[in-house]
Amino acid sequence: MYASRVRAALRGWGGVGAMAVLCALALGFVLLLPCTQRAPQRAQPGGPSVAHGIQARAGSCEDSGAQDQTLSPSGADGPTIDAIKARTGERRKLIVGVDQNSYRWGYRNPNTEGAELEGFDIDLVHRIAQDILGDPDAVQFKAIPTNQRISAIQDGRVDMVVRTMTITCERLGQVAFSAPYFKTGQQVLAPKSSSITGYNSSLAHKRVCTASGSTAYTKLTDDRKSGALPASTDISATVPNQLDCLVRLQLGEADAVVTDGALAASQAAQDPTVELKGAPFTTEYYGVAMKKDAVDLVRRVNRVLVDYRANGWQNSYDTWLSATLGKDSTASKPPAPRYLRTG
C-alpha cells in the first residue's frame, strides 16, 4: 500500500524532477564547453566528464548543434575496422551506401566505361577506402534509396552511408555521424525568367515541388501554417525523388523546387535555364553516417576528414560543384569541427 502510494507520487513528480536534473546537467555541460574545446585532440576516454557528456547530450541536442556531436579523430584500429580489414579476397572492400542519381554528388555516368559512379560524395568514399584498406578502389558501392539510409546502417548492410545525408538530432539517436564535410541549406530553384526571388512572398500563388517526406516538405508545411510562407503557395506537388521535381518544373507542372542547396545545384547543373533563387534559408551539414557503436570507425573517418579538408576537399569542389555553386567555396565549407561526443 505504502509503496504503491510512493510510486504514484513519483509518477506525478518524478518526471518533473528528472527534467529539472537534466536541465541542470545540460546547463552545466554548456558551461563546461569552453574547457573541452581547449584540448580537443587529447580528450581522454573515461573519467567523470563522460557521464556528464552522455546524459547532457540525450537531453540537449539541438539541430543547430547536431553537427558537433561526433567523436574526436583517431587513427587507432578497433573492432569495426578490424572486421573490415579481415575481409579477404574479392570481399576485402569497404561497403558504402551511396546515391546513384544525384548529379555531381553520386551518380552513374552512362557515358563512361562501365558507367562508373562519380561525384563529390564518391571522391570522399575513395579517400576513406584509401585510408582504411590502402586502396582507393576497394569499395563496394550500394545504391541506397533515401528512406533506407538509416535501416541499411542499422542492419549492417553497409559500413557507412555517404549520401548527402544531413546531420540531425533525430538521426543521431539512430546512427553515428562523422564531423560535417559540407555545409548547405534548403534553397529555392526556379526558372531564370521566373518572378520568384527566393524563399519569400514571391512564392505566393506558385506551385512548389518537394520530395515526399523530405525536410523541405516538412519545413514548407510548418512555414505555411505559421505564416512565414504565403498561404496561397501550393505545396501539394510531392514526388518520390527530388530529381522528379526538375521534370515537373521543366514540364510546367511546378513553378519552383525546394530542396537542399547542394541537390538544387545538382539540378541546375542539368538545365542551364534554371537557377538557385535567394540564399539558403536553413543551415544543414552533411556527414558520413555509421553504426552507432562503431566508435573506432567514426574516429577514423574524422581523422580522414581532417586531412581531406586540408587537402582534397577543394579539388573535389572545383571539379564537381564550382560550376553551379560558385567558384568561391566559402559558403559550402564545413565549419571547424568540434568533437563534443565523448562516449
Partner 1 sequence: MPAAAPGVPPQPGRPASVPDAPARRTAFAEGVDRVRAAATTEPGRLRIIGAVLALLVVAFGASAAWQADARSAAAHDVLHRSQPLSSGAADIYRSLADANTAASSGFLAGGQETPQSRTRYENDISTAAKGLVTAAANAEPGSASEATIAKLNGLLPEYKGLVERARTYNRQGYPVGGAYLRYANEKMQQEMLPAAEDLYTTENARLDADYGDATPYPWLAIGLGVLALAGLGWAQHRTYRRTNRVLNHGLVAASAATTVALLWLVVGHAVARAELNGSYDHGIRSLTVLHDARIASLKARGNENLSLVARGADTLTVDGQQYDTYYYDFDKDMASLGKGLTRAAQLADDQGGSAPVKTAESNMAVWKQRHGAVRDDDENGNYQQALDKVIGAKGTTGECFDGVDTSLARAIDHEQGEFQRAATDGQDALTPLSAGAAVLALIGAAGAVAGIGRRLSEYR
Q: Which residues bind partner 1 (CB under 8 A)?
A: 95, 100-103, 107-111, 114-115, 117, 140-145, 147-148, 151, 240-241, 243-244, 246-247, 250, 267, 270-271
Report the distance separating Cα 43 and Cα 37, nearest Å: 9
Report the distance separating Cα 322 and Cα 61, nearest Å: 33
Cell (9 digits) for 65: 548543434
CB closer to partner 1 out of 52 and 108:
108
3-class SS of residue 118: strand
CB closer to partner 1 out of 25 and 129:
129
Q: Are 188 and 221 in contact (CB under 8 A)?
A: no
Report the distance separating Cα 1 and Cα 216, nearest Å: 53
CB closer to partner 1 out of 107 and 217:
107
Cell (9 digits) for 287: 556527414
CB closer to partner 1 out of 12 and 110:
110
CB closer to partner 1 out of 103 and 286:
103
Minimum Å distance from CB 130 to partner 1? 18
Strands 160-161 and 101-102: unpaired
Vertex 156 angle, CA 316 and 290, to 5°? 40
CB closer to partner 1 out of 15 and 240:
240
Q: At what angle do helices 295-310 and 313-320 cross, to 10 degrees?
A: 70
Q: How many CB atoms lie within 10 A of CB 223?
A: 17
Minimum Å distance from CB 169 to partner 1? 23
Q: Could you give the dihedral angle defined by the CA atoms of residues 76, 78, 81 and 85, in that order, rounded to the nearest 10 degrees?
A: 90
CB closer to partner 1 out of 80 and 267:
267
Minimum Å distance from CB 323 to partner 1? 13
Report the distance separating Cα 306 and Cα 301, nearest Å: 9
Minimum Å distance from CB 262 to partner 1? 14
Minimum Å distance from CB 87 to partner 1? 13
* Dihedral over Cα of 288, 294, 296, 297: its sign: negative
Cell (9 digits) for 313: 576537399
Minimum Å distance from CB 267 to partner 1? 7
Q: Are 70 and 299 in contact (CB under 8 A)?
A: no
Minimum Å distance from CB 106 to partner 1? 10
